[in-house]
């Protein structure tokens, strides 16, 4: 399984056309099974599939520690790496199957209702005493971009990065789906025994949607920052759960939508951080 694929294309610059090979981000389906039963199918970039499945199950509220998992394996008998079977530890209740397949743009498709999406978190972001300087936050987009190795070749992947409060990189994952990138990151943390992710910052390369806020809350992450806009539902959920939500984090500017109390204005340009909505 390769994260990129080559294709012959025609490139037009001004009035000149040339033929060349271009690198494309791979997108393929992954069927996740739990104890042999189909749970969901998601479109993803192959790689870190075990982390993806584990992170997905954290977001579903099914597991919270490495000992909740028994085994994970690709179904090699199907001559493919696009089917993954997760065996839960004895006593761990399996999640309810999704109603239909998810796309790389949707992490909560198939839920029967909004109430079902608001999974009960095991840890409270509201109780996390984390504080972070605005100068640290301003550095995160560049640090995340510098770690996007596959994006450099394709320009077609989202990224999610986990940082400590000093801006140190803990983990970075890429995928065609922004929710998959976060699931891969959370799954890595679970398998490393790091949950809950108290005192950390989740930085994402796109917008901050409801599903990303939910995944941050379920992993115990107190701060979520995005280079683009949040949705109204994302802001509402962040306020309810005590999560610090930052959008439009670009250059010296950022909008703090909730949890402004965790942000310390530091460094040059500190006056450009403003609270769009406090929570």
Q: What is the pLDDT of residues 107-141, one digit of tens each?
A: 556 554 455 556 678 999 999 999 999 999 999 99
Is residue 4 predicted with pLDDT exceeding 80?
no
Residue 96: the pLDDT is: 80
Rounded to whole angstroms, the Cα distance separating 245 from 215 reads: 13
Give residue-wise pLDDT tens across range 28-59. Answer: 999 999 999 999 999 999 999 999 999 999 99
Q: What percent of the chain lies above the pLDDT cut of 90? A: 68
3-state secondary structure of 116: helix
The total number of residues shown for the chain amounts to 279
Q: 53-85, pLDDT tens digit by residue?
A: 999 999 999 999 999 999 999 987 665 689 999
Which pLDDT band holds residue 173 (cuts at 50, 70, 90)?
very high
Confidence of residue 272 (pLDDT cuts 50, 70, 90): very low
Average pLDDT of span 132-152 = 86
Radius of gyration of the chain (CA): 19
Mean pLDDT of 256-263: 98
pLDDT at 2 over 60: no
What is the average per-residue pLDDT within 227-240? 95
Instruction: Find out whether the peptide bond into 196 is cis, omega within 30 degrees of 0.
Output: yes
Q: How far apart are CA 118 and CA 122, in angstroms?
A: 12
* Percentage of the chain lying above the pLDDT 70 cut: 82
- The pLDDT of 207-227, averaged and rounded, is 96
Neighbours of 64 (CB within 10 A): 19
pLDDT of residue 101: 54
CB-based contact 122:186 (threshold 8 Å): no
Distance CA 252, CA 263 (A): 14
Query: What's the Cα-to-Cα distance from 42 to each of 25, 60, 72, 180, 274, rounded to whole Å?
Result: 16, 14, 17, 8, 37
How far apart, in whole angstroms, are the C-alpha atoms of residue 3 and residue 24?
Answer: 8
Asked if residue 260 has pLDDT above 80, the reply is yes
Question: Which tens digit of pLDDT belongs to each residue from 18-29?
Answer: 998 887 878 899
75 carries an active-site annotation: no
Residue 275 scores a pLDDT above 50: no
Q: Residue-wise over 197-227: b if at least 16 C-beta within 10 A, else e?
A: bbbbbbbbbbbbbbbbbbbbbbbbbbbbbbb
Q: Rounded to the nearest 5°, which phi and psi values hold at 88?
A: -85, 155
pLDDT of residue 271 exceeding 80, the answer is: no
- Better-predicted residue by pLDDT, 131 or 105: 131
**Backbone dihedral region for residue 110 (phi beyond 0: left; psi -120 to 50: alpha; all else: beta):** left
For residues 240-264, average pLDDT: 97
Q: Tell me the two tokens of residue 80.
A: 């493919």
Distance between CA atoms of residues 85 and 82, nearest Å: 10
Catalytic residue among 75, 106, 109, 171: 106
What is the rounded average pLDDT for all residues in the chain? Answer: 87
Give the alpha-carbon dihedral of 92, 98, 99, 100, to 10 degrees.
Answer: -150
CA dist., res. 254 & res. 258, Å (int): 12
- Residue 106 pLDDT: 63
pLDDT score at 110: 53
In three-state secondary structure terms, 226 is strand
Rounded distance between C-alpha atoms, residue 231 and residue 257, angstroms: 11
């Amino acid at each position: 399984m390769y994260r990129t694929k080559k294709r012959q294309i025609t490139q037009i610059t001004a009035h000149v056309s040339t033929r060349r090979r271009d690198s494309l981000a791979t997108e393929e389906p992954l069927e996740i099974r739990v104890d042999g039963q189909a749970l969901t199918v998601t479109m993803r970039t192959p790689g870190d599939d075990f982390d993806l499945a584990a992170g997905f199950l954290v977001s579903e509220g099914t597991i919270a520690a490495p000992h909740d998992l028994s085994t994970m394996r690709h179904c090699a008998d199907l001559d493919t790496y696009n089917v993954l079977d997760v065996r839960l530890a004895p006593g761990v209740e399996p999640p309810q199957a999704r109603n239909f397949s998810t796309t790389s743009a949707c992490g909560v498709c198939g839920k029967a209702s909004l109430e079902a999406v608001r999974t009960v978190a095991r840890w409270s972001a509201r109780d996390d005493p984390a504080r972070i300087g605005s100068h640290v936050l301003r550095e995160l987009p560049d640090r995340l971009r510098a770690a996007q190795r596959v994006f450099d070749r394709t320009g077609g992947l989202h990224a999610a990065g986990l940082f400590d409060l000093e801006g140190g990189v803990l983990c970075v994952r890429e995928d065609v789906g922004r929710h998959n990138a976060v699931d891969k990151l959370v799954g890595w943390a679970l398998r490393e025994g790091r949950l809950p992710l108290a005192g950390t910052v989740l930085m994402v390369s796109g917008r901050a949607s409801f599903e990303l806020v939910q995944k941050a809350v379920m992993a115990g992450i107190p701060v979520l920052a995005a280079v683009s806009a949040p949705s109204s539902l994302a802001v509402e959920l962040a306020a309810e759960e005590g999560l610090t939500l930052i959008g439009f984090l670009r250059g010296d500017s950022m909008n703090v939508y909730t949890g402004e109390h965790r942000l310390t204005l530091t460094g040059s340009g500190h006056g450009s951080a403003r609270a769009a909505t406090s929570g």
